[in-house]
Structure 1
Amino acid sequence: MNDINAKRYLVLSVFIMTFVFNAWNVLLNNFIVEVGGFNGFETGGLHSLRELPGLLAFLVIYITIYIKEQSFALTSLVVLCLGVAMTGMFENVWGIYLSSLIMSLGFHYFETINQSLTYQNVSKEELPTFMGDVLSKQGLANLLAYFFVFSLVSVLSYKYTYLSIGISGLVLVLFVVYKFRGIKLISRPSSRKIVLKKNYTLFYILTFLKGARRQIFIVFASYMLVEKFNLSVNQVLSIYMATYLVNFLFARLIGRIVNVLGERKSLILEYSSLLIIFISYAYVENVYICIALYIADHFFFSMGIALKSYLKKIIHDEDISSTASISFTINHIGAVILPVLLGGIWISSSSLVFIIGSTLAFISVIFSLLIPSNPYIGNESIFSDKLEFKRG
């Protein structure tokens, strides 16, 4: 029963994070364009700045010396909610940057700790199915977030809409604290050093590429809907709702696909699909085709749970916390640098931004081919057995 409650606790925590973050995010492009007067370069700068805490995720290794991972995750959720509540109070570039940075601190540190706790409390056999269930609940959280925003934005200003989102999130956090007050998640002692291991090199590379691709999707695919096609808040909300309805309905299927195909084939399928989608983004002129690409993009990106499943199969227990922290830092190297650089490119050529994204997807396909069909500790890449043979 404690194992079941631990999983429920993890799922509900992710549900709250998803609800608050995506309610913040769905309004963001309209807010920064209509209120902040942002151009493409300032938009890229905003996303580079808000990804900075992700680059500093390795600090979690040291913070968890003084505070338990479970408590730190809850604290991070509170910071996330406070940052979102503050967002509408600032209507200039630097004020919006500040509130986004506070929100981002909570978001990224929660994501880092939650990943560590998930690896430690869910077995490698159950992980793809569990992550499929998490994706499904995230789809539901997004749908509820968008209905919530949709009901508020027509009667409230951006300021009070964001305040309502943040306060609602805090209430949900208090509910989790009360509902699961007796639950203690497994949190094993971990290395307090920043350690990069050769065994995980392929995972590090794929994680870096994932972070770079993700920013192009999150920042520029959604920004294009507003900047290029002049969609309103309600139209963007409708697209986001359709996107997460698809995720809600098919997320468990994604988990089963990963179980059946395995990590190697699943990631090859994901990256190949994203390659086609990014190329299509570069030349799309029809708003309905762009919307279809956006929904498909989000669906295939969800297959990234296969990368987490791959790590779970090759990682030693004592490396879980430190690797979770380091992987978030690696993931955000590109996330911090690319948005502001590509924001400058966007001003002169939006198509080139997506061509760069397709190039990253192609490189990802190449590296995913190096994953063995049956990964395990000691068999992290297709070269592992050959290396062992040479040593022998």
Structure 2
Amino acid sequence: MISDRSKRMYIFLLVLTLGAHAAFQGWRTLLNNFAVEVGGLGGFDMGIVQSLREVPGFLALLAVYVLLIVREHRLAALSVGVLGIGVAMTGFMPSTGGIIFATLVMSFGFHYYETMNQSLTLQYFGHTEAPLVLGKLRSFAALTNILVGGIIFAAASFTEYTTMFVCAGAVAVLTGIWAFMQDPTHKEIAPQQKKLFLRKRYWLFYALTFLSGGRRQIFVAFAVFLLVEKFGYSVQEVTILFVLNNVINWYVNPIIGRAVNRFGERKVLSLEYGALVLVFTAYALTDSPLVAGALYVLDNIFFNFAIAVRTFYQKIADPGDIASGMAMGFTINHIAAVFIPAMGGLAWLADYRAVFAAAAVMAAVSLVLVQKIDSQVAKNAHSG
């Protein structure tokens, strides 16, 4: 149950999550087909786009300095508005350079919002509340994605890409304006560090975050592109896949939050990483469009288990380290993400299977490292 004093923050984050995901899902659903059909982009071009998309994530560490002049909840609202502007711009720029520019604007908004969202969640909700809140927010995000997918599926046959991008972006802009006028904070939260740091005792969080960034970006950059280029998925078929994925996630995400509380982060993340070794290996081997689509859904389900990495950090971090730690975590997550899609684009030209094999290796390394979680939590409890 969410405490009364935190309900205003929960509602604030929920509304921002709905607006942000409505815009981002619209962009994500349309981008690959727009890039291929209108912009004429190839695999290498998309690798460059996806690599540059992660530069704002790498620069998420600068959010700590922005917080010197803007409060966290205000920055969250502004970021969602910027996300919407970037999405709306995309449809007017059907070229590699244009898509890169609009993507950078969108990405700055998305990554700064996600940094603030995670920071505020870990600050305002306790160790047992946070997994449930993260699970619920992801569930509502999935429900939003279903609605967006249904609208795009219905409109794609008679609506231009430009109009769909503008409509998706407008939702986020209006949400950001509403949120900027709200103040869901209270004074019982520990003051946050307004500087960057790397602490030795957080090393496992940093390592898991780094590997997650590299592995996830291979999926984001190339999984849907594989479906479109190799298996010929249309925009309607991609939309159906997204809707199916989000129907499952809408149901599963709250269960994941409860599972983190019941079984602990180590077991939940072990299941995720073990499954992803198999999923990415299968991506490299399959020649079936149906199997590839099923693997896409499975990967998205297991991606949601990543909330356990954040709740693990919450358990070992000093209360005042949350905001700076989330900003640093986003930057570490995107160190690999900045260059891996571009490298993957080059590897794709030789053999696309090598791209997914690399992701399987990263998942295997994560599986080994995650076995140390319980000892890290126990060590922190002892030192505390």
TM-score range, shorter chain: over 0.9
| Structure 1 position 176, deviation (Å) | 4.1
1:183 maps to 184
Q: Which amino acid aligns with 1:9?
A: F
1:152 maps to 155
2:264 to 262, 265, 288: 262
| Structure 1 position 370, deviation (Å) | 1.2
| Structure 1 position 164, deviation (Å) | 1.2
Q: Which amino acid aligns with 2:250?
A: F
Distance 2:109 2:172 in 1: 12
1:299 to 281, 298, 301: 301
Q: Which amino acid aligns with 1:269?
A: L
2:341 maps to 339
1:205 aligns with 2:207: yes
1:369 to 364, 367, 371: 371
Moved more, 228-237 or 184-193: 184-193
Q: Which amino acid aligns with 2:333?
A: N
1:70 to 61, 70, 73: 73
| Structure 1 position 138, deviation (Å) | 1.1
1:60 aligns with 2:92: no
Distance 1:172 1:195 in 2: 32
Percent identity, aligned pairs only? 37
Residues 164-179 of structure 1 aligned to structure 2 (within 5 Å): 164-177=167-180
| Structure 1 position 155, deviation (Å) | 1.9
Q: Any conservation in 1 of the 2:78–2:180 contact (CA below 8 Å)? A: no
| Structure 1 position 170, deviation (Å) | 2.0
Distance 1:109 1:127 in 2: 20
Distance 2:15 2:203 in 1: 32
SS in 2 for 1:97: helix
1:315 to 303, 306, 317: 317
The structure-2 alpha-carbon separation of the partners of 1:202 and 1:308, relative to structure 1 and needing over 3 Å to count, comes to: same
Q: Any conservation in 1 of the 2:81–2:174 contact (CA below 8 Å)? A: no
1:382 maps to none
Distance 1:122 1:233 in 2: 39
1:222 maps to 224
SS in 1 for 2:373: coil
Distance 2:8 2:64 in 1: 26
Distance 1:188 1:16 in 2: 28
Q: Any conservation in 1 of the 2:121–2:133 contact (CA below 8 Å)? A: no
2:125 maps to 122
Q: Any conservation in 1 of the 2:272–2:303 contact (CA below 8 Å)? A: yes
| Structure 1 position 193, deviation (Å) | 2.4
Distance 2:195 2:77 in 1: 24
Q: Any conservation in 2 of the 1:315–1:377 contact (CA below 8 Å)? A: no
Q: Tell me, which stretches of 5 or more residues in structure 2 are unaligned?
A: none
Q: Which amino acid aligns with 1:83?
A: G
Q: Any conservation in 2 of the 1:316–1:377 contact (CA below 8 Å)? A: no
Distance 1:295 1:159 in 2: 27
Q: Any conservation in 2 of the 1:263–1:373 contact (CA below 8 Å)? A: no
Distance 1:354 1:197 in 2: 32
Distance 1:376 1:88 in 2: 51
| Structure 1 position 245, deviation (Å) | 0.4
SS in 1 for 2:372: coil
Distance 2:48 2:166 in 1: 24
| Structure 1 position 42, deviation (Å) | 0.7
1:276 maps to 278
Q: Any conservation in 1 of the 2:83–2:108 contact (CA below 8 Å)? A: yes
| Structure 1 position 373, deviation (Å) | 6.2
2:114 maps to 111
1:26 maps to 29
Which string of whole-angstrom CA distances, capped at 9 and with x for unpartnered residues, describes residues 142-190 of structure 1? 1112122223322221111101111122233344456xx3533566432
Distance 2:109 2:151 in 1: 21
Q: Any conservation in 2 of the 1:128–1:259 contact (CA below 8 Å)? A: yes
Q: Any conservation in 1 of the 2:280–2:356 contact (CA below 8 Å)? A: yes
Distance 1:172 1:192 in 2: 27
Q: Any conservation in 1 of the 2:241–2:293 contact (CA below 8 Å)? A: yes
Distance 1:206 1:145 in 2: 32
2:89 maps to 86
Q: Any conservation in 2 of the 1:57–1:108 contact (CA below 8 Å)? A: yes
Residues 237-252 of structure 1 aligned to structure 2 (within 5 Å): 237-252=239-254
**Count of residue pairs brought into register by the alignment:** 379
Distance 1:156 1:3 in 2: 41
